[in-house]
């Protein structure tokens, strides 16, 4: 199950501080961690996690053993603005945005190793029928005499 948030108006470096704290935790622990985190990025990550849980329920997957498999924060577009400076000059200001992708998975145990497996619903797509290649008959080119 995946959920994404595009062009959130906060720098990715600040978002990653909170995103890295919930990666690998169970869904319940991640929600409780985000609810007490004082950072500004905790609230949108909490709503994104709730959205991913709702996506899992819509797919018919039980939410009991879900964990946060991946929480990736990438840079979005940068808004470029100018601040007026002395003597009519301008200083650039870069307003950063973030793209966040949250992936949930289930924890399975095989022997002594515990692995995280992403629970993805695979869609079966019928292969497209093969198209017959059309061969165009080449017309003879008439020689031009100069």
Q: Is position 106 within any domain?
A: yes
Q: Is position 49 within any domain?
A: yes
Please state the domain count of the chain: 1
Q: Is position 141 within any domain?
A: no
Question: For the stretch 32-69, what's the b/e string if a residue is b when 16 or more beta carbons lie within 10 angstroms of its beta carbon?
Answer: ebbeebeeebbebbbebbebbbeebeeeebeeeebbbb
Q: 3-class DSSP state for residue 122?
A: coil
Q: Is position 140 within any domain?
A: no
Q: What is the pLDDT of residue 52?
A: 95
Q: What is the pLDDT of residue 132?
A: 61
Domain encompassing residue 56: 2-118
Cβ neighbours of residue 79 closer than 8 Å, sequence gap 6 or more? 94, 95, 97
Residues of the chain with pLDDT under 70: 108-146
Strand partners, 92: 82
Q: What is the pLDDT of residue 109?
A: 56
Distance of CA 116 to the CA centre of its chain: 18
Q: Is position 71 within any domain?
A: yes
CA angle 53, 3, 15 (to 5 degrees): 105
Q: Is position 144 within any domain?
A: no
Give the CATH number, domain containing residue 64.
3.90.470.10
Asked whether 73 and 6 are in contact (CB, 8 A), the reply is: no
């Amino acid at each position: 199950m995946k959920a994404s948030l595009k062009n959130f108006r906060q720098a990715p470096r600040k978002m990653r501080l909170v995103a890295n704290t919930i990666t690998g935790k169970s869904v319940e622990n991640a929600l409780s961690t985000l609810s007490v985190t004082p950072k500004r990025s905790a609230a949108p990550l909490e709503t994104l996690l709730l959205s991913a849980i709702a996506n899992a329920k819509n797919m018919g997957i039980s939410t009991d053993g879900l964990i946060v498999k991946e929480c990736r924060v990438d840079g979005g577009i940068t808004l470029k603005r100018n601040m007026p400076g002395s003597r009519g000059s301008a200083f650039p200001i870069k307003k950063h945005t973030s793209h966040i992708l949250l992936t949930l998975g289930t924890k399975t145990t095989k022997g002594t190793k515990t692995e995280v497996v992403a629970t993805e619903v695979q869609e079966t797509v019928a292969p497209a029928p093969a198209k017959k290649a059309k061969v165009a008959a080449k017309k003879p080119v008439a020689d031009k005499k100069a």
